[in-house]
């Protein structure tokens, strides 16, 4: 395979970075949809106001959800053992997320079919569930990545998950879930301040500023907990990054504080948690000042930085094992073949810019405030 310009280790690292980009893309782009859905029953008091809120995200939520599909597809193709363990071990959690996400298109399409206030209120709460539940469970999932999942592999490399759904709901994982919810609520509030006027924007600014401060405080609390009380993982054996993937050929130790090792050896990575805190606080201040666009950028930076914080902390792990630490998955032993990673990279080089260009064009076309008049003048409005 001399025609491939990158060695195996470089391709693995590139796909680790690309996976982070896709996860950040989903969290930032679909995150404000989830945040707006969570805020819907609280920032809009009348049916007219709720129609305005729904139509701030109605034209774009489907496109934003493409980032979730891209992320799942990247895990499936680039890191198949990670896909096998996470999507089977976390099956009930994934099912709950999918059920909540399914409520979004149903809520958007059905709420306007009947003018009965009770009918519409029911679907508004369905949209709330479709926003709040995924935001919480995604955060819980990240918390469980830091804790490690109870799984191992047989000698034939068949993944065996030994945990249950309620085992995922530990205090630390729930704290991570609350960090996620508060970040996305602040992000959604920034979108509402940017896209609406009047009472909706005022309420969104108030809720969002509280959520931004809460996100910063909870994120710091989670960091202190990780540094002092959460057992981290470290690969102690020599890793040959050019070998074919096999997660059983390494020795892993675990002890409290090990997740801080990368920050001690690579001090520049401390920029990620710092920006996570500062971005959340900046969004809170900017929302108070009704600067929706800048608040949206600040909350987006905070979300991206929080994801990078986790990625830097657990590197090179993708999913540690809490029951058999040596079976934990790293980017060096859980990837597809070198040829597969190269072909996927070529496809990404072609199609990812197209996705970004199309997304930018859509948001340019849909720029401007959503008002009573714009909703009334749009025949396809929800």
Q: Is residue 317 part of a domain?
A: yes
List, for residues 210-232, the tens digit of each pLDDT value: 999 999 999 999 999 999 989 99
In terms of DSSP H, where are the helices of the chain? 8-29, 31-43, 47-57, 61-64, 66-78, 80-89, 91-110, 117-147, 171-195, 198-228, 261-265, 271-288, 292-314, 338-365, 372-377
Q: How far is CA 147 from CA 58, 86, 220, in A?
A: 36, 14, 17
CB 22 within 8 A of CB 74: yes
Confidence of residue 371 (pLDDT cuts 50, 70, 90): confident
Q: What's the CA gap between 78 and 5, in Å, rounded?
A: 18
Q: Is residue 114 part of a domain?
A: yes
CB 64 within 8 A of CB 379: no
Q: Is residue 242 part of a domain?
A: no
**Residue 326 DSSP symbol:** G
Q: Are strands 151-153 and 231-235 parallel, antiparallel or unpaired?
A: unpaired
Give pLDDT, residue 147: 94
pLDDT at 56 over 60: yes
List, for residues 119-178, the tens digit of each pLDDT value: 988 999 999 999 999 999 999 999 999 999 999 898 888 888 888 878 889 999 999 999
38 token code pair: 């969570």
Length of the chain equals 382
Residue 227 exposed, middle or buried by CB count within 10 Å (0-12, 13-18, 19+): middle
| Phi and psi, residue 247, nearest 5° | -75, 0
Give pLDDT, residue 60: 86
CB 232 within 8 A of CB 255: yes
Nearest to 183 by CA among 71, 275, 101, 264: 275
| Residue 230, phi-psi category: left (phi > 0), alpha (psi -120 to 50), beta (remainder) | beta
Q: What is the mean pLDDT of residues 261-273?
A: 94
Confidence of residue 65 (pLDDT cuts 50, 70, 90): confident
Q: Is residue 2 part of a domain?
A: no
Question: Omega of the bond prior to 316 within 30 degrees of 0, cis?
Answer: yes
Q: How many domains does the chain have?
A: 1
Nearest to 195 by CA among 185, 206, 209, 205: 205
Give pLDDT, residue 109: 86
Q: Are strands 159-161 and 252-256 parallel, antiparallel or unpaired?
A: unpaired
Place of tokens 């710092």: 274
Place of tokens 């301040």: 193
Q: What's the CA gap between 98 and 96, in Å, rounded?
A: 5
CB 146 within 8 A of CB 259: yes
Q: What is the mean pLDDT of residues 229-236?
A: 93
Q: Is residue 244 part of a domain?
A: no
Q: Is residue 60 part of a domain?
A: yes
Q: Which of the residue ranges 97-106, 115-124, 204-213 has the most confident prediction, judged by mean pLDDT?
A: 204-213
**Residue 167 DSSP symbol:** G
Residue 217 exposed, middle or buried by CB count within 10 Å (0-12, 13-18, 19+): middle
Q: What is the mean pLDDT of residues 90-104?
A: 88
Confidence of residue 362 (pLDDT cuts 50, 70, 90): confident
pLDDT at 55 over 60: yes
326 token code pair: 């040596």
Give pLDDT, residue 366: 82
pLDDT at 271 over 90: yes
Per the structure, the complete domain to which residue 116 belongs is given by 8-234+249-377
């Amino acid at each position: 395979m001399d025609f491939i310009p990158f060695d195996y280790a470089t391709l693995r690292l590139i796909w680790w970075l690309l996976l982070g980009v896709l996860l950040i893309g989903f969290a930032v782009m679909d995150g404000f949809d989830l945040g707006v859905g969570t805020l819907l029953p609280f920032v809009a008091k009348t049916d007219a106001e709720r129609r305005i809120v729904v139509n701030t995200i109605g034209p774009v939520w489907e496109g934003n959800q493409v980032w979730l599909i891209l992320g799942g597809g990247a895990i499936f193709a680039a890191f198949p053992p990670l896909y096998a363990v996470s999507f089977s071990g976390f099956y009930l959690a994934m099912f709950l997320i999918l059920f909540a996400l399914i409520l979004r298109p149903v809520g958007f399409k059905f709420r306007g079919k009947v003018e009965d206030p009770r009918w519409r209120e029911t679907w508004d709460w369905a949209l709330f569930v479709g926003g709040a539940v995924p935001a919480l469970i995604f955060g819980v999932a990240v918390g469980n990545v830091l804790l490690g999942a109870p799984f191992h592999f047989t000698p034939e490399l068949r993944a065996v998950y030994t945990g249950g759904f309620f085992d995922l709901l530990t205090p630390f994982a729930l704290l991570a879930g609350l960090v996620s919810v508060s970040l996305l609520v602040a992000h959604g509030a920034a979108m509402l301040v940017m896209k609406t006027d009047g009472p909706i924007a005022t309420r969104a600014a108030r809720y969002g500023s509280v959520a931004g401060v809460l996100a910063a405080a909870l994120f710091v609390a989670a960091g202190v907990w990780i540094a002092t009380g959460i057992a981290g993982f470290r690969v102690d054996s020599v890793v040959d990054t050019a070998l074919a993937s096999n997660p059983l050929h390494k020795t892993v130790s675990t002890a409290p504080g090990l997740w801080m090792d990368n920050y001690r050896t690579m001090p520049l990575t401390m920029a990620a948690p710092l920006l996570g805190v500062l971005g959340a606080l900046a969004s809170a201040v900017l929302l108070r000042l009704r600067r929706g666009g800048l608040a949206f950028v600040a909350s987006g930076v905070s979300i991206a930085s929080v994801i990078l914080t986790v990625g830097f902390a657990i590197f090179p792990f993708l999913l540690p094992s809490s029951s058999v630490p040596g079976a934990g998955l790293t980017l060096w032993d859980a990837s597809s073949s070198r040829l597969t990673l190269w072909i996927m990279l070529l496809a990404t080089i072609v199609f990812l810019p197209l996705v970004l260009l199309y997304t930018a064009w859509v948001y340019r076309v849909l720029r401007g405030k959503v008002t009573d008049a714009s909703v009334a003048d749009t025949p396809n409005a929800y």
